[in-house]
Structures are given as structure tokens and as C-alpha cells.
Structure 1
Amino acid sequence: MIINHPLLGPRDSAEFVYMGDAALIDRPDPASDTAAQEFYEYAYLRDNPAGNLRELWFHEGGDRSWLVVTRNTVTHEISRVELARDVARAQGRSK
């Protein structure tokens, strides 16, 4: 599988480590009244959809950047690759 890194161009997926659902970027608020339940769900509950999923990938064998890869879990087709820092910043502005 080839991941088209936003800064480095096409790279073999062997250079990367899959780190899970990109929803992990959005951590629960520890000051929330329901923080314990929210952190339990954040740490232990995962969806396993068939279809498009936004995933975190770490470029361990390269520039050590974090990426958000939108990938079809059935076909492995990648439709989008973004720097995780840009995704996190955009989420911070929308809250």
C-alpha cells in the first residue's frame, strides 16, 4: 500500500505504523462531570466499520510525522492524507 505523504510524496506503508482511529485526536475534557466515563470510552471502545475510516499513522521510518489517512477498510484504497497537526488545529478552531 502506498501512502501519499503530504510533505514527502508517495511512500511505502512499511515506513509507517498504524496507530488506530483518528478520533483519538479529540481527547475528552478531564474537567468534565462525566470525565471518567468519557475516558473509559476513549481508551477502550472502538468502532470497526467496513468502509471509509480516518486513521492515525506514524511515519516511524521517515520524518516521524503523524498523519490522518482516510482509507477504505474493505479495499484499502486511500482517498485522503493529511498532517495530523493540521487536523488537530482545525478541530480546535471548530470547538
Structure 2
Amino acid sequence: MQLFSCPFCGPRDETEFTFGGEAGKERPEPAPDVSAEDWSKYLHRVGNPRGRTREIWVHHTCGEYFLMERDTVSHVVAGTQSLRGGGA
């Protein structure tokens, strides 16, 4: 079991959270201006970096989305931050 720190609720079991995507990934402009190829890249291609990364997560207990910085190799969480500002 791993503990993640929700910026709103504090440390909780990892089973209370769901990965929401890569942080900083820019959504293409809405249709009809976006090509099918660009939309496909946005939806299906992920960086899968090795090492420290920034990700969006959601805590189901409070329903809040937040930013988590963690190492994908060691699984060490460097910190979390509210998407509204502030954080733990």
C-alpha cells in the first residue's frame, strides 16, 4: 500500500485516487479546427517518462483534482498541489 497526500484531506490510501493524466498536456482547439490525427495524439499518446514527473490525480473521497509530483521509478511522491492554488 502507498499513501498519497491529498491537498484537501491529507494522507490517504492510494486506492482512493485515480490518475487523471499528464500535467501540462495541452488540449487541441475544439472541432472542427482540430484534425483527427491531432485529436488522436492528444487522447492516446502519452510520454511515460522515467523518473520525476508531474501528473493530475483525483481524490474520490472529496472529488478534488490536484497536481502530484512523483518519481515513476521509485514511486516517491515529492508533493501535491491543489489546482486552485495552495497545496500540501
Aligned to 1:78: 77
In terms of fraction of residues, the more strand-rich structure is 2
In terms of fraction of residues, the more helix-rich structure is 1
Partners of 1:19 and 1:55 within 8 A in 2: yes
Q: TM-score by structure 1 length?
A: 0.72
Count how many residue pairs are aligned between Structure 1 and Structure 2.
Answer: 83
Give unmatched runs, 5+ long, in structure 2: none
Residue 21 of structure 2 aligns with an amino acid whose one-letter code is G
Partners of 1:71 and 1:80 within 8 A in 2: yes
Percent identity of paired positions between Structure 1 and Structure 2: 33
- 1:63 aligns to 2:62 (yes or no): yes
Give unmatched runs, 5+ long, in structure 1: 87-95
Instruction: Please give the per-residue CA displacement for 1:19-61, whole angstroms capped at 9, x wherever unaligned.
Output: 232234x31222796x21432211111111110111121111x
Aligned pairs (5 A) from 1:12-27? 12-24=13-25, 26-27=26-27
Q: TM-score by structure 2 length?
A: 0.76
Asked which structure has the greater RCO (Cα within 8 Å, sep 6+), the reply is 2
Quote the RMSD (CA, aligned, Å).
Answer: 2.1
